[in-house]
Amino acid sequence: MDDDSPDEVFTDFRTRHLGGWGVVQIAAGTGLAVYVMWVGVLQPGFRRVPLKLQVPYIPASKAQVKNVMTLMRGRTGDLVDLGSGDGRIVLEAYQHGFSPAVGYELNPWLVRLARFHAWRAGCYGKVSYRQEDLWKVDLSKCKNVTVFLAPSVLSLLQKKLQVELPDDALVVAGRFPFPDWSPCRIEGQGVDRAWSYSMQAQRQHTSQKNENLIVRSIVRKPPLVRSK
């Protein structure tokens, strides 16, 4: 994998000038504080991202992680976490038997934190965190996908997932549901709630919806009147 080695990660933290916001992010990733500001505006990896696609880093709670894994119960194979933050979903997924477990995160400091957490958990080299734009990731072979993203992002992401994911893929969203999809299962309550979506069922639902729209447009179309 192309992850930094533990020594490189520690060296990076020691030699780089983090600045105030960098310290806040590290504190959040290590559980010392909840970082609820829109860091995308300030961090170099996010400056080119449109405002509505920026997502604040809010670490998933233990209950949220548990609910996501409950919805993934019985699934096997790979798992991809889009917007993986400090990497806790990927780590938990690997510990539940998912492999390869990969996280995609655009914020460079969070990627480094995730790799540090993997090393600390004894999972270095067993999970992967990549600093990549999730919109450019090829998801055509992904069977298990998790997301903790803002509603404004989910409304656009659902289109990408529906186009690229295979029929047997399962998508689990935490904290916010996909706005136009119907979940097959829901786990938890309040802010800890998670929703799972079957891509096959979702495509069938979308296809049926489009067919109904076509039928309605035909029925409403006025009949042609032939002139004598």
Task: Dump pLDDT digits (tens) for 195-213.
Answer: 999 999 998 887 776 666 6
Domain span at residue 81 reads: 62-209
pLDDT in the model for residue 103: 98
Cα 90 from Cα 98, distance rounded (Å): 9
The pLDDT value recorded for residue 41 is: 34
Asked if residues 71 and 146 have their Cβ atoms less than 8 Å apart, the reply is no
The domain that holds 111 is classified in CATH as: 3.40.50.150
Which pLDDT belongs to residue 183? 96
Say if residues 64 and 194 touch (Cβ distance below 8 Å).
Answer: yes
Q: Label residue 57 by pLDDT band (50, 70, 90).
A: confident
Q: Is the pTM here over 0.85, yes or no?
A: no
Mean pLDDT on 123-142: 95
Separation CA 217–CA 43 (nearest Å): 48
Q: Is residue 98 part of a domain?
A: yes
Using an 8 Å Cβ cutoff, are 57 and 35 in contact? yes
The count of domains in the chain is 1
pLDDT at 208: 72
Span 79-95, average pLDDT: 96
Per-residue pLDDT band for 32 (boundaries 50, 70, 90) equals very low
Strand partners, 124: 127
User: By percentage, how much of the chain surpasses pLDDT 70?
Assistant: 68
User: Which residue, 158, 156, 100, 154, is CA-closest to 129?
Assistant: 100
Tokens coding 216:
């309605």
21 within some domain: no
